[in-house]
Amino acid sequence: MTAAQEILEENVLDKGFIRLIEFMGGDPAVVLGARVSYAQGLKGDEKDKKLVFYLMQHSHMTPFEQAVLKFHVKCPIFVMRQWIRHRIGSFNEHSARYSEMADEFYIPAEFRKQDVKNKQGSLAAGAEIDQKEALAEYTRTIGQTYATYQSLIAAGAAREMARMVLPTALYTQFYWTVNARSLMNFILLRAEGHAQWEIQQYALALAKFFKMRMPWTWEAFLRFTWKGGNPVLDQEKAQFNGS
């Protein structure tokens, strides 16, 4: 199996994944989209890559909408609720009305503590949290809610109502079709350190697919658009800028 085939699926968190299902366009589509204004096409790798860099550096972003990627995503519901705030893209989600939800919930390795300065953020926890007890209570509560869900269905309750007891830690699945411009915006906001850690992991997985399919655009993104805030991408940006 080649490296390109291996990255077609990336596991995320404890039970999630991202799969690249379809891809259209790529770096050449960006170049063609930009040069159509002058009725010109591809001019060779050196000139074409230089154009991609120019477009990114000067925020000429519409040509990047010519490349499209389709992903199959499995993530906790609370991650998807943040995901769908990115409105430029098409979503189709697994339905809890048509089918019964599986007993699959996100179990964190540990609980982070509340950041008192950033009220929507978190910090690595120290001894102030009894991790063993917190995880035990968390998994116990999840087990109880799923048992109630199954009991309601067994009693004849409609799936669309029984699902109301399920927590946002439940895993869901959806298809997401997005153009390269919007994907870069997602990575810019969701891989950054102020985003919730769990969605950062999905953003990093998306970045791997993006880099594989559109290497020129990816390099240009890191050089000219990425502002920093994630050690993985910061290190790669430093390597590009040092080359």
The domain segmentation of the chain, as residue ranges, is 3-92+173-242, 111-165
Q: Does domain 3-92+173-242 have CATH number 3.30.450.20?
A: no
Which among 19, 81, 159, 190 is annotated as catalytic? 190
Look up 190 and say whether it is catalytic: yes
Tell me the H-state helices in the chain: 3-6, 27-35, 45-57, 77-83, 131-154, 159-162, 180-190, 197-213, 215-224, 231-242
Question: What residues of the chain score a pLDDT lower than 70?
Answer: 1-7, 243
Name the 3-class secondary structure at 116.
Answer: coil
Is 16:109 a contact under the CB 8 Å cutoff? no
Report how far residue 51's alpha carbon sits from residue 48's, in angstroms, rounded to the nearest whole number. Answer: 5
Look up tokens 């399919």; give the residue: 213
Look up tokens 């999905």; give the residue: 202
The pLDDT, as a whole number, for residue 7 is: 56
Report how far residue 82's alpha carbon sits from residue 183's, in angstroms, rounded to the nearest whole number. Answer: 14
Report how far residue 75's alpha carbon sits from residue 131's, in angstroms, rounded to the nearest whole number. Answer: 23
Tell me the H-state helices in 119-226: 131-154, 159-162, 180-190, 197-213, 215-224
Structure tokens at 7: 């990255």
Structure tokens at 157: 């309750």
